[in-house]
Amino acid sequence: MRKKHKINWPFHAMLFPGVLLVFVYCYIPMAGIMIAFQKFNPGKGVFHSPWVGWDNFRFVFAMEDTLQVIYNTVFIAVLKIVVGFVVPILFALLLNEVRKTLFKRTVQTLVYLPHFMSWVILGGILVDILSPSNGLVGKAISFLGLEPVFFLGRNDWFPFVLVLSDVWKEFGFGTIVYLAALTSINPSLYEAAKIDGANRWKQTIHISIPGIVPMIVLVGTLSLGNVLNAGFDQVYNLYSPLVYERGDIIDTLIYRLGLESAQYGVATALGLFKSLVSFVLIATSYFVAYRFANYRIF
């Protein structure tokens, strides 16, 4: 026992700066959730603002919009999680079959690029591309003889535009994770399979996919915590009064409450509610992953 500790101490030391950062920036600010139970005034501070019990929560759930907003959030986020979960896996498997290294690397880099662009920029680009009168997509639809759709201005389309554009932006990043997992599969397995007469399809089913299952479970588990994260940056840059009905999400509501109307207490209460639900979801999904996939993160 003692000997093992001796070997491990440099690793623990290396861990220390990271733990410290998390502690300072993630744990200490948690004290701020007190604000959710106060009529917070920055001048009086956390310690002298009057306590109001559950009033902020009552206010949040008495607000007309709240239920619709929660529904929108879950709807958009779940779609994003599902599509954003499947696409990178498929793409990584396909890309893995490509023989030409140059082609493979080029594609990999290209699909990875949008990840680095901010939604402020992409928002402007999407407004142009999706314009029904002179955008690329609008032109293409009219070329097919159909009526162009005002994607960003219609409540029925808006959530799907959010999902598709988000997946387009992020799937390259997800792909890289799976590609890395695929390269770590022992090549001798493939050789053995080939000798046994397995074709590429069988190799994929029986070697590649099982090889990356731990990664799939890990990514899936972590993403479940995002069920209430519909993506503030994206929605804030793309939504408009026309699509408030289906596009307004918890985070944009918090933003308007907290930063535009300075109702810090109410905004914190809503944020705390969101965090609690996410916490329960993460805990559950971790438990599920542990029980059924026998996978442990820790």
Q: How far is the CB of 59 from other proteins (least distance, A)?
A: 7
Asked if 242 interacts with other proteins (CB under 8 A), we say yes
The answer to whether 133 contacts other proteins (rule: CB under 8 A) is: yes
Q: By CB under 8 A, is residue 262 in contact with other proteins? A: yes
Helix extents (H) in 43-186 = 45-48, 55-62, 66-97, 101-112, 119-129, 136-143, 158-183
152 binds other proteins (CB under 8 A): yes
Q: Let me know how many helices (H) and strands (E) the chain has, helices first.
A: 15, 0
Could you say which of 22, 23, 117, 124 contacts other proteins (CB under 8 A)? 124
> Does 266 participate in binding other proteins (rule CB under 8 A)?
yes
Separation between Cα atoms, residue 83 and residue 226, nearest integer Å: 13
**Cα dihedral 30/259/76/138 (nearest 10):** -150
Measured CA distances, 192 to 185, 186, 198, 203 (Å): 13, 11, 9, 10
DSSP-derived secondary structure letter, 100: -
| Candidates 163-171, 188-196, 258-266, 273-281; binding stretch for other proteins (CB under 8 A) | 258-266
Q: What is the DSSP letter of 261?
A: S
Which x/- pattern, by CB under 8 A, does the window 181-220 give for other proteins?
----------------------------------------
Instruction: Give CA–CA dist 246/249, Å, rounded.
Output: 8
CB nearer to other proteins: give 126 or 181.
126
Q: Which chain residues interact with other proteins by CB under 8 A? A: 41-45, 59, 63-65, 124, 127, 131-133, 150, 152-153, 238, 240-242, 244-245, 248, 256-257, 260-263, 266
